Amino acid sequence: MMQSLEVLNARIIKCKKCPRLAKYIANVAKVKVRRYNDWNYWGKPLHGFGDPDAKLLIIGLAPAAHGGNRTGRMFTGDSSGDWLMRALHESGFANQPTSENKEDGLKLKSAYITAIVRCAPPENKPANQEIANCSCYLAEELKILKNVKVVLTLGVLAFNTYTSMLNVNGLKFKHNASYQLSDKTLIASYHPSRQNTQTGKLTWNAWVEVFRKIRKITGS
């Protein structure tokens, strides 16, 4: 399983399927922003990370331009990552509540994090074709991660992409909604982006309730 993930991850890092995204992340890595001027940006596609024996699979939208695209790890170095790791730590899926860089000692326990798009898109808005180009990587992860019991999709695009891949129709996105799909439970959640957390669309209590539900289902 680990070897299969390593082979897949090596392919993802070298991916050049989307010229717009490849150009954008390279430019962001070169221009940077003042607060991260001393960073050597990752500036390449990002693969998923976590426990290969995960019972929980978290599917996000895409790396952040100055988060994952800078640090080289999804949900690392940005406010969305802060919310996610704190919740994962409180629910026992992570050994620490922060995700700052690839060498910070973070380890996920029975959880794996990925995204529907592996390059940071301009304005956090990937094109439909870019999502389609990346879908093969998520499909391979789903085959490799054989112990997943719960799939948590963060945001409407992740929810719709995952259900489309499974050819499942008629499900509606709603925060903390859950659906039984054969051997897995699908749970929908708002994405912990600043747009949602700072406006109150996603509150901390509503966010951690999702992980309490997941913990009951996985039983680990």
CATH number of the domain bearing residue 150: 3.40.470.10
Tally of domains in the chain: 1
Whether the predicted pLDDT of 123 surpasses 70: yes
Q: How far is CA 54 from CA 134, 147, 214, in A?
A: 21, 6, 12
Q: Which two tokens stand for residue 218?
A: 């996985």
The string of pLDDT tens digits covering residues 148-198 is 999 999 999 999 999 999 999 999 999 999 999 989 999 999 999 999 999
Q: Which two tokens stand for residue 23?
A: 């150009």
189: containing domain:
2-218
pTM summary value: 0.96
The string of pLDDT tens digits covering residues 139-149 is 999 999 999 99
